[in-house]
Structure formats: structure tokens, C-alpha cells
Amino acid sequence: MTRIVFATQVVDPDDPILGATVGKLRALAERVDEVAVLADRAVDGALPPNCRVHVFGAGSKLERGRRFISALHRELAPKPLAVVAHIVPLYAILAAPLTRPRRIPLLLWFTHWNRSRTLVLADRLSTAVLSVDRRSFPLASTKVVAIGHGIDTDVFACVERPGGERLRVVSLGRTSPAKGFETIAEACRLADVELEVYGSSSTGEERAERRRLESLGVRMRDPVPYREVRALLAERDVLVNNMREGALDKIVYEAAATCMPVLASNTGFDDVLPPELRFDRDEPGELAEKLRTLSVMDRNALGRELREHVVERHSAGHWADAVIEVATR
């Protein structure tokens, strides 16, 4: 029997931030006999029958850690192909004392610009580090394997969008200053196009940035449940992403998978977005000019080309195949 153990924060297809995890787990479940999922929180019925979920959520960090280790210990027999620590470096640190003596590969999935001592230790303890791209992991590690983002291209299917009199622009993400929403808003004002920003504000910094953006006249919206993101994208013409270097937001790939044109500043998107769809992060004038160009071109044809790149390099199937390949090397 082939098995994978997968540790993650949330299993919930409606979670605005982590809902995409469900598609990755479903893809893994198609490739092995069983997936044992360890989650801090989970909803019933989200995963296929060959996925077994252990919820380790508790009222204290100490109790969560104890329950995590207990559940993992039970799932290491029979021996799995690998243990995957998804997003949270601490999961890899907690898992290492159990996996290393048993020679079970420990794979850390991480894609973010934030460096930390915890991440350094997790990198040291992991067998391999999986990320979208080598540039989406903030440490100079020889363990990094680029495997794409794992987008469910069946859920994010192609949408034919009718042309409109005025370009409808959307941007999604937490209202962090790192997202560069002010530049996007200024560019949309210069290009005379509509803009809506959808994002959560869960920290003090994010709430302050949201208030600042609202004071500038930006139309801010609350995040939608993850399963409604495709419908939201289908009703807009262009997605703009201005995230700082080192983080490759999955929304760029999801939008492109729906045949939606995307403009992004991050050079890490160069395997999907050609130079004419990228802009300097701090240059609203350049972005405005690219928006004007998109407003008069065949955006559906361009979107179909972008989807091909996502399907080839960033689909959930491609991602799951790569996880299995790394685990069995």
C-alpha cells in the first residue's frame, strides 16, 4: 500500500486563504492508496474516501504539539512514502525526530519571502524543500525543488469573457503593504479603469493598510469563500498583482487558468507571463499604459495562451506527480 502523510493548517474548501489545499490533497489521493491528513482544523466531506483526517487543534500550543506528534506517530506504520509539512516550518521540526530514525523522507512545502530561525531549522531537518520556484524560497538552500504551485485547473476552468466599454480590474490578497495595492489603484486611476480589491485584514498592520487604502478611494471588499473565487474572476477582465519579490501568489496562476489576462510585477512569474504582462512594482504609469493596451486587444486569445502555461507547469496534477517523484527518489 502506498501512503502519504500530509500535515497542514486547514482542510476547508471555503477558506479564503487555504482553500486551495483541498485540490492538492485530492490530486495526491488520486496517486496513492491512502493519504493521512493531520490538520489543525478540518471540515467533513471535503476529501476523497481514501483520505483519513486527524484534527490536532487545541486550546494551547503545547496541547496542539502533543496531539500532532501523537497522530503522526500512529500514521508512520505502515511506512509512508513521505511526510509532507505544508506551509508551516514547525510541522517539519516536530516531525523530524520521528521520521529521521525511520528513514522516512520529510518534505517541507514553503513559498514565501519571510525568513525566520524556525525556517532555517526546518530546512536543515527536511529531506527536501518543495516550492513553486527556487526564487519563492527565501533561503539559499541546496534542498529546494521547484514543482509549481498546484492549481486545480478543473475548478479554475477557462472562461470566455465578453468585451466591455470599460476594463474591469480586480486584485486579491491580504491587505498587507507588501501587496502594493496603492500603485495598482493609482495606475487604474490614470488608465480610467474600474478596480476592486478583495482581501482579508487580520493583523493590525493589515487593518491599518485597509483604512489607508479606503481613505485614498480604493474600493475594498471582504474576501469571498475560496470556492467562489472562480466566479468572481469570471466577472472581471484583468487581474493585477503587485506582490513584492520572493512570493508567488497563487491567485496569479488561478486567474490565468481561467483564461484571464494577468499583469504582475514579480519577476518570478516569468514562466507564465511574458515581459509585456509584467511591470515595475513602483511605476503606476507603466502599469497604466499596459492596462490601456489590454483594453483594446483580444484578451480571450491572450488568456488561452496563459492557461496553457499554467496547465503545463502549475496544475495540481503536475504538483502531485512532483511530490511523489521527490518522495521516491
Among residues 83, 79, 94, 77, the alpha carbon closest in space to that of 37 is found at: 83
Residue 189 neighbours by CB distance under 10 Å: 15
Residue 246 neighbours by CB distance under 10 Å: 18
Q: 251-294: per-residue pLDDT in tens? A: 999 999 999 999 999 999 999 999 999 999 999 999 999 999 99
Residues forming a β-bridge with 85: 7, 108
pLDDT at 165 over 80: no
Cα–Cα distance list, 272 to 157, 260, 264 (Å): 16, 12, 11
d(CA 53, CA 68): 12
Average per-residue pLDDT for the chain:
95
Residues forming a β-bridge with 82: 4
Q: 13-22: per-residue pLDDT in tens? A: 999 889 999 9
Q: Looking at the chain, which residues constitute the CATH 3.40.50.2000 domain(s)?
A: 3-150+315-327, 168-312
Q: 102-130: per-residue pLDDT in tens? A: 999 999 999 988 889 999 999 999 999 99
Percent of the chain's residues with pLDDT above 70: 100
Angle among Cα 304, 20, 26 to the nearest 5 degrees reads 95
Among residues 299, 174, 172, the alpha carbon closest in space to that of 239 is found at: 172
Q: Place 52 in a pLDDT band, splitting at 50, 70 and 90.
A: very high
pLDDT at 164 over 80: no
CATH number assigned to the domain with residue range 168-312, chosen from the 4 options 3.40.50.2000, 3.40.50.2300, 1.10.8.60, 1.10.1240.10: 3.40.50.2000
Q: What homologous superfamily is domain 3-150+315-327 in, according to CATH?
A: Glycogen Phosphorylase B; (3.40.50.2000)
pLDDT at 246 over 80: no
d(CA 143, CA 107): 10
What is the predicted pLDDT for the residue at 247?
Answer: 79
